[in-house]
């Protein structure tokens, strides 16, 4: 086993000495403390893999130390040592979360085994935590662990198993296409094609033949036969992006395809049966599109079997640091240079900006910052002026939705959430430190973290 750092806490120098020699012989580093207070201070300043503590000590005893360590987020296993005849107190320590106890005087070989086991456990715990943190960055290609995003991951996993049509709504750049691809990849159709088609990018006259294909000579310019996107997506998924841009007559035809599961190429009267899943997306207000007649109601109800709404980035500011980090890494690799850090000031600006272009806009801002700044740190001066000037934290409160502009409670919650996630970010998630920074109790911090679904 590799070298580990063990904290030995005992008020008797002789006992400290015995354990120190033993641990050195096992190849570990040893830190010594004479009481609980001193031990706690040490454990807060250096990483500790294992704590071995006497139970009865003047001042803070072993059980109190154990409790204090956990309160400070220090999860290293704790072995308590106690004199024969005081087994009850050892049992009490176990109930409080001690890993094991050793009765004194002890047998060196037996103690070695206990230490080895405790350190092995510690490693497993640490690996689990690492894996958990990796997972918690996001899901699949998604970065973001806000409650709002976790809800979307859940919806995606849930809907992926069926072949129901899905309508994905959300502002521009919120990850609608990413969600559509994730549904396809998580579905039993993953081996077949995911065929995206952007209804806004193809001239309306061409869209129909793009979707349905055509036979040779079907219309002027149809020089050869062409397979449509529906056929290509057979067995897989077709993604109709910006579906409200499709002309209503074509929408009616699309509806027929969905109902009859058959297509006919233009200029041919042979129908081909197809098995496709349709995912449609729009960044428009669909209710309005329905009222204005740009989206047919019958098609809407057919598509709207399951709706996923991707949350705007400003409603999940706690994901901004993770996303920024992810894009910094992505573009550092792409530009073939070292990975810069980002200053707290710059991050504050990013977290208080309203992001009308959502994740895509953030990605562009980070890419630009990396191109502009050749140094080791991204700072405010590498950010576009609209972000820096808009980011007076209080000014950005008006950003969320025009209708909410004067609503005090959402505005205050928005600010509170932002400050909390900033503080947590600054201290790398250490709750005790974050509470101190915010000048609130840890209990209050816990409550608020829960309330806002922060991590």
How many Å apart are CA 428 and CA 77, to the nearest integer?
Answer: 22
How many Å apart are CA 312 and CA 360, to the nearest integer?
Answer: 11
32: left (phi over 0), alpha (psi -120 to 50) or beta: beta
Query: Within 13 Å and on the Cβ side, how many CA atoms surround 315?
Result: 14
Nearest residue (beta carbon) to ligand ATP = 175
| Smallest distance, Mg ion to C-beta of residue 194, A | 13
How many Å apart are CA 193 and CA 261, to the nearest integer?
Answer: 17
> DSSP 3-state assignment of 301?
helix
Question: Mask of contacts with ligand ATP, 117-156, x by CB under 6 A?
Answer: -------------------------xxx------------
Residues 270-329 that bind ligand ATP (CB under 6 A): 283
From candidates 122, 177, 231, 319, binder to Mg ion by CB under 5 A: 177
Among 22-30, 176-184, 313-321, 405-413, which window interacts with Mg ion (CB under 5 A)? 176-184
| Tokens standing for residue 281 | 């997306």
Q: Between β-strands 138-139 and 142-143, what pairing exists: parallel, antiparallel or unpaired?
A: antiparallel
Token pair 């915010």: residue: 438
- Work out what residue 265 binds among ligand ATP, Mg ion, none; the CB cut-off runs from 5 to 8 Å by kind: none
Task: Check binding of 363 to ligand ATP (CB under 6 A).
Answer: yes
Contact 115, 23 (CB under 8 A): yes
Q: Between β-strands 262-264 and 271-273, what pairing exists: parallel, antiparallel or unpaired?
A: antiparallel
- Number of Cβ within 10 Å of residue 383's Cβ equals 24
Comparison of 122 and 177: residue with beta carbon closer to Mg ion: 177
Q: What secondary structure, in 3-state letters, does 367-431 show?
A: HHHHHHCCCCEECHHHCCHHHHHHCCCCHHHHCCCHHHCCCHHHHHHHHHHHHHHHHHHHCCCCH
| Smallest distance, ligand ATP to C-beta of residue 363, A | 5
How many Å apart are CA 393 and CA 408, to the nearest integer?
Answer: 15
Among 73-81, 166-174, 396-404, 430-438, which window interacts with ligand ATP (CB under 6 A)? 166-174
Comparison of 33 and 279: residue with beta carbon closer to ligand ATP: 279
- Work out what residue 196 binds among Mg ion, ligand ATP, none; the CB cut-off runs from 5 to 8 Å by kind: none
| Smallest distance, ligand ATP to C-beta of residue 283, A | 4
- Work out what residue 72 binds among Mg ion, ligand ATP, none; the CB cut-off runs from 5 to 8 Å by kind: none
Among 78-86, 165-173, 201-209, 447-455, which window interacts with ligand ATP (CB under 6 A)? 165-173
Task: Check binding of 325 to Mg ion (CB under 5 A).
Answer: no
Question: Mask of contacts with ligand ATP, 167-206, x by CB under 6 A?
Answer: ---x-xxxxxxx----------------------------
Interacting residues toward ligand ATP by CB under 6 A: 142-144, 170, 172-178, 283, 359-360, 363
- What residues make contact with Mg ion under the rule CB under 5 A? 177
């Amino acid at each position: 086993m590799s070298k580990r750092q063990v904290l030995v806490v005992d008020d008797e120098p002789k006992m400290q000495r015995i354990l120190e020699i033993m641990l050195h012989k096992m190849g570990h580093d040893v830190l010594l403390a004479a009481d609980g207070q001193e031990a706690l201070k040490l454990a807060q300043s250096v990483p500790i893999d294992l704590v071995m503590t006497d139970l009865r000590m003047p001042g803070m005893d072993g059980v109190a130390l154990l409790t204090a360590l956990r309160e400070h987020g220090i999860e290293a296993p704790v072995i308590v040592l106690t004199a024969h005849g005081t087994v009850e107190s050892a049992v009490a320590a176990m109930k409080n979360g001690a890993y094991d106890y050793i009765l004194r005087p002890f047998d060196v070989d037996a103690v070695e085994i206990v230490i080895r086991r405790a350190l092995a456990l510690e490693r497993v715990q640490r690996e689990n935590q690492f894996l958990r943190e990796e997972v918690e960055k996001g899901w699949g290609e998604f970065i973001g662990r806000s409650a709002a995003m976790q809800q979307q991951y859940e919806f995606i996993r849930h809907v992926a198993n069926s072949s129901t049509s899905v309508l994905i709504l959300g502002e521009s750049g919120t990850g609608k296409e990413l969600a559509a691809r994730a549904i396809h990849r998580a579905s039993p159709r993953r081996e077949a094609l995911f065929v995206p088609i952007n209804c806004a990018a193809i001239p309306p006259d061409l869209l129909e033949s793009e979707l349905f294909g055509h036979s040779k000579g079907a219309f002027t310019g149809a020089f050869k036969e062409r397979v449509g996107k529906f056929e290509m997506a057979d067995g897989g998924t077709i993604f109709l992006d910006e579906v409200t841009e499709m002309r209503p007559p074509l929408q009616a035809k699309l509806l027929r395809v969905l109902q009859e599961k058959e297509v006919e190429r233009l200029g041919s009267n042979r129908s081909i049966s197809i098995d496709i899943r349709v995912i449609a997306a729009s960044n428009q207000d669909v209710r309005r599109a329905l009222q204005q007649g740009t989206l047919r109601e019958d098609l809407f109800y057919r598509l709207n079997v399951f709706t996923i709404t991707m949350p705007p980035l400003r409603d999940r500011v706690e994901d901004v640091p993770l996303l920024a980090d992810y894009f910094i890494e992505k573009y550092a690799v792409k530009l073939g240079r070292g990975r810069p850090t980002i200053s707290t000031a710059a991050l504050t600006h990013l977290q208080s900006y309203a992001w009308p272009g959502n994740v895509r806009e953030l990605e562009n801002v980070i890419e630009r910052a990396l191109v502009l700044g050749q140094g080791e740190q991204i700072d405010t001066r590498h950010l576009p002026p609209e972000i820096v000037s808009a980011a007076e934290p209080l000014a950005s409160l008006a950003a969320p939705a025009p209708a909410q502009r004067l609503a005090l409670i959402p505005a205050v919650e928005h600010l509170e959430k932002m400050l909390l996630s900033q503080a947590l970010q600054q201290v790398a998630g250490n709750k005790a430190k974050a509470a101190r920074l915010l000048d609130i109790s840890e209990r209050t911090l816990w409550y608020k973290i829960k309330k806002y679904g922060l991590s």
